[in-house]
Structure 1
Amino acid sequence: MEPHFNINRRNFVKSASAVALLSSMGAYGMDLIYRDKPWKVGLIGTGWYGKMDLWRLMQVAPVEVVALCDVDRHMLEEAARLTSQRPEFKGKPRLFSDYRKMLAETEMDIVLIGTPDHWHALTAIEAMKQGAHVYLQKPISVDVLEGEAILAAARQYGRTVQVGTQRRSTPHLQEAKKKFIDTGMLGKIGHVEICCYYHMRADGNPPLQEVPDFFDYELWTGPAPKRPYDGLPHRRWWRTFMEYGNGIMGDMCVHMLDTVRWMLDLRWPNRITSHGGIYVQTGGKSNITDTQSAVFEYDDFEVHWQHRSWGTPPDPEYPWAFKIYGEKGTLAGSVMQYDFIPAGDAPTIHGDVLYEREKYPGDAQEPDIELHAVPATRRHMLDFLASIENNTRPFSDIEEGHISSASCILANLSQKLGRSLQYDPVQKVIPGDAAATALLKRAYREGWEHPFKQA
């Protein structure tokens, strides 16, 4: 199922440069969004998913890669080499170690941000100030008020921001929503469960080391608390520390909560309660929970989250998933499939993930690619570009990304404080709870300024 949008081609066929672009893009044909000149694009954070996002954008639109930025010189040079080998590649990108210098010295239409969570707010806001639209990875922030600042900046500067919660653009989940949610086949919905049981929590004890000369650890740390250096943190090690991210809640719950909110047209939860801790994987340095539950309360039902980074999943078919329970049936969904199980004797209706191996044969040669996810990301990029062209809100507009991200951050705060929380997004406080309100904005390291300004 393709996303629904209007593509602006008014001047495309009149332009010789556009004809050249069309020829150069070859077999991708009319799946592309065209314009008279390429989109000027930069990437901040050239790790695994930053490159994945850039390469998906290059597959669906004429792109000139003008800048790449990373504090790891080796990773930056490798990203430049790999990007230049892409069949769609155009440009001669300048390489930067400091995003501020990159944004000040290059003119870009679009900036992709694939940094760790603790850098999302400052990079996104500065990119928007410099005139760029932004594709921002989830969760959008490490604290709630960073998210409010990004949202305010997007509206102030009139920029389009698409958040990388691409389940909204996942073909088989769009199909499931249309078939079973929009038609009312589930009947009255009374309960929702979301979960992740992947063994994804790093739990090592690497020794302290000297910082290598190719890596700027001071700038990588930026506004976050600075840990003693024990190896390259951006090789997925950072995800195991709350100093830099939001744990498995921020990594995985944000996707499934966002999916359910999209499918059921939900906004902010009325109340959030969470419990958990480090119960089993106690041997390493990691300070994110290995076990955590959360309840997101809405008017008519609750959304229950559970993650464990150990043991076995209760349903091996759906280890990272949502299950929506209605009076007429249950809809289970994941990145790989969906099943609608009707009440009574009717057979289960099954749907599978869409792969595009024949359409994009180069995908199979890409190292570490998530083949099941790239069709969704390509559609997410198409929607992003169409929203820029038509001045409309994208599927995962920054406000939607903020609600989903902040709800997960609030769950972490509830788990930390041991009590339920109710967030007021208008006043930007937790009413009647000064201690919790103080945690909506965490202290930045000396030399860095938090972007949220109280009105």
Structure 2
Amino acid sequence: MNSKHAGEQRREFLKTSALLAGGAMLSGVPFVGAYAGGDDVIKVAVIGCGGRGTGAAFNALATDANIKIVALADAFRDRLDEAYTKLAERHADKLDVSEERKFVGFDAYQKAIPLADVVILATSPGFRPTHFEEAVRQGKHVFMEKPVAVDVPGVRKVLAAAKEAKRKKLNVVVGLQRHYQASYREGIKRIQDGAVGDIVSGQVYWNSGGVWVRPRKPEQTEMEYQMRNWFYFNWLCGDHIVEQHVHNIDIANWVKGSYPVSIQGTGSRAWRNGKDYGEIYDNHAVELTYADGSVIYSQCRHFEGTANRVDETFQGTKGRVYLSAGNDAILWDTKGNELYSHPKRGNANPYQHEHVELFDAISKGEYKFADADNGAYSTLTGIIGRLATYSGQVIKWDDALKSNIDLMPERLAWDALPKVLPNEDGLYPYAIPGKTVVL
């Protein structure tokens, strides 16, 4: 891609990503519609009652908006009951969920969404495109967790629903919370204003010891086992380069003001390779190549007993940058002189602040947030990274976006079978670079 096209891509990114301005690009545009029931109470439905869904519900209830949670939905009754108990302990006055408004099963979202003005979408990521599509169809404002899809057809579905959400003036916030963190906003604003010149390279990381494992129980069907252990199956999670590392990849895109034109890299199952770890890799290292020729190096791994690192660094023609979720944003010139250091005191919790801003806009009847496009494209960046490591091939953005490989099961039911199944030893098939075909 030549410099003209690179400039056009950057302008389109800046135009369409309301995140870059913290929603200000759409500020003040009124939306049409009253709250369900015709009063000033904002009714919220929580779709997905696990740890993240419950946490998001607490964040919503901690805002100054007049909120009531009126419906809970989850595939599993025990997760729903656990969330209800936790919410009732702290916010009984804001919890209006009768037994009739507790919905369980694969179709639970369809029953909960009509009761609300705002839906919190926090199920396993594989379900996100369908749930988002339905929420937009029914005219609801949305907070949805990242990533927003696990495969390319899911990304396309989110992009189509995002277009409709903008037409309907529905606020949509995606849980890429660094966009609502003051240090990132201030640091990246200075980068985009030219403080360190043009960004020519960078490194982004999510290296940790990994997450939970839930052993198989004898009474579980294969569908329930995979649903309970969703992190280890791509139709539910997308691999950790998509589910976790999307945060850091998104920062690379934000700093560059565009999305990669191609991605290549390597990965494997070096440590977490037993039957408890499904089909995903435990390490990925990829290069994101942008239209101007710059390359951002991206690394994520789940190795126990090794150094952890979750942050981002960038090098520009006039300086360098360090960013991290710990409220660090430091810019230096080429001689090492500090250009900017974000003060740590007074930083708002970004997980909380994204809800504060969303519900403040809804309370005021303003249309301010259209995060779904960027959420979809940064998710797609992670998906292409997975395709590159699984195949060992260079994957071009435009080629990947045409993919019709759908990871979702043909049928969603407890007695249905997912597309990836274990062998007689309980081991799941996994990608082999050089052999696995991904497009």
Of 118, 133, 138, which aligns to 2:126?
Answer: 118
Opposite residue 164 of structure 1, the aligned amino acid is: G
Of 74, 78, 82, which aligns to 1:74?
Answer: 78
Using the alignment, how far apart are the partners of 1:304 and 1:176 within structure 2? 20
Residue 174 (structure 1) aligns with = 185
Contact 1:272 1:411 in 2 (8 A): yes
Of 153, 178, 184, which aligns to 2:161?
Answer: 153
Counterpart check, 1:44 vs 2:47:
yes
Using the alignment, how far apart are the partners of 1:136 and 1:253 within structure 2? 17
| Structure 2 residue matching 1:295: 3-state secondary structure | strand
Contact 2:147 2:242 in 1 (8 A): yes
Using the alignment, how far apart are the partners of 1:148 and 1:292 within structure 2? 24
**1:313-324 maps to which residues of 2 (within 5 A)?**
319-324=309-314
| Structure 1 residue matching 2:252: 3-state secondary structure | helix
Residue 11 (structure 2) aligns with = none
Contact 1:198 1:309 in 2 (8 A): yes
TM-score, normalised to structure 1, is 0.73
Using the alignment, how far apart are the partners of 2:269 and 2:240 within structure 1? 12
| Structure 2 residue matching 1:119: 3-state secondary structure | helix
Residue 445 (structure 1) aligns with = 410
Using the alignment, how far apart are the partners of 1:8 and 1:382 within structure 2? 18
Contact 2:22 2:179 in 1 (8 A): no
Please say which of residues 344-353 and 322-331 is displaced more in the overlay. Answer: 344-353
Opposite residue 86 of structure 1, the aligned amino acid is: R
Using the alignment, how far apart are the partners of 2:43 and 2:315 within structure 1? 45
Residue 132 (structure 1) aligns with = 140
Opposite residue 377 of structure 1, the aligned amino acid is: Y
Using the alignment, how far apart are the partners of 1:87 and 1:202 within structure 2? 28
Deviations 1:265-323 (A, max 9, x none): 21x31111131111233345312211211111112311210122226777x6xx11111
Deviations 1:232-273 (A, max 9, x none): x54xx321232421222112221112123223321x311111
Distance change >3 Å, CA 76–CA 280, structure 1 → 2: closer
Of 51, 64, 68, which aligns to 1:64?
Answer: 68
Residue 144 (structure 1) aligns with = 152
Please say which of residues 164-173 and 237-246 is displaced more in the overlay. Answer: 237-246
Distance change >3 Å, CA 380–CA 251, structure 1 → 2: same
Distance change >3 Å, CA 384–CA 150, structure 1 → 2: same
Deviations 1:86-132 (A, max 9, x none): 35842411211146455446421111011111211222222222232
Residue 173 (structure 2) aligns with = 162
Deviations 1:164-220 (A, max 9, x none): 111111111112123x3133221222101111111115568x354214xxxxx7xxx
Structure 2 residues not aligned, in runs of 5+? 1-20, 31-37, 414-439
Using the alignment, how far apart are the partners of 1:390 and 1:45 within structure 2? 27
**1:49-448 maps to which residues of 2 (within 5 A)?**
49-60=52-63, 61-87=65-91, 89-93=93-97, 94-98=101-105, 100-101=107-108, 103-104=110-111, 106-156=114-164, 158=168, 159-178=170-189, 180-202=190-212, 206-211=215-220, 226-227=222-223, 229=225, 233-234=227-228, 237-266=229-258, 268-286=259-277, 287-300=279-292, 301-310=294-303, 319-336=309-326, 337-347=328-338, 349-351=340-342, 353=344, 375-385=349-359, 389-394=365-370, 397-424=371-398, 428-429=401-402, 437-439=403-405, 441-442=406-407, 444-446=409-411
Using the alignment, how far apart are the partners of 1:446 and 1:304 within structure 2? 38
Using the alignment, how far apart are the partners of 1:391 and 1:88 within structure 2? 30
Opposite residue 218 of structure 2, the aligned amino acid is: Q
Using the alignment, how far apart are the partners of 1:65 and 1:299 within structure 2? 45
Opposite residue 302 of structure 1, the aligned amino acid is: V
| Structure 2 residue matching 1:197: 3-state secondary structure | strand
TM-score, normalised to structure 2, is 0.76
Using the alignment, how far apart are the partners of 2:273 and 2:107 within structure 1? 39
Distance change >3 Å, CA 182–CA 424, structure 1 → 2: closer
| Structure 2 residue matching 1:65: 3-state secondary structure | strand
Using the alignment, how far apart are the partners of 1:63 and 1:161 within structure 2? 17
Opposite residue 103 of structure 2, the aligned amino acid is: F
Contact 1:113 1:124 in 2 (8 A): yes
Distance change >3 Å, CA 199–CA 353, structure 1 → 2: farther
Contact 2:47 2:123 in 1 (8 A): yes
Structure 1 residues not aligned, in runs of 5+? 10-34, 212-216, 218-225, 357-373, 430-436, 449-455
Contact 1:355 1:375 in 2 (8 A): no
Contact 2:288 2:297 in 1 (8 A): yes
Using the alignment, how far apart are the partners of 1:197 and 1:101 within structure 2? 35
Contact 2:146 2:176 in 1 (8 A): yes
Contact 1:43 1:111 in 2 (8 A): yes
| Structure 2 residue matching 1:424: 3-state secondary structure | helix
Instruction: Calculate the aligned-residue CA RMSD, in Å.
Output: 3.0
Distance change >3 Å, CA 88–CA 175, structure 1 → 2: farther
Opposite residue 49 of structure 1, the aligned amino acid is: R
Using the alignment, how far apart are the partners of 1:143 and 1:242 within structure 2? 9
Distance change >3 Å, CA 168–CA 82, structure 1 → 2: same
| Structure 2 residue matching 1:86: 3-state secondary structure | helix
Contact 2:116 2:140 in 1 (8 A): yes
Opposite residue 66 of structure 1, the aligned amino acid is: V
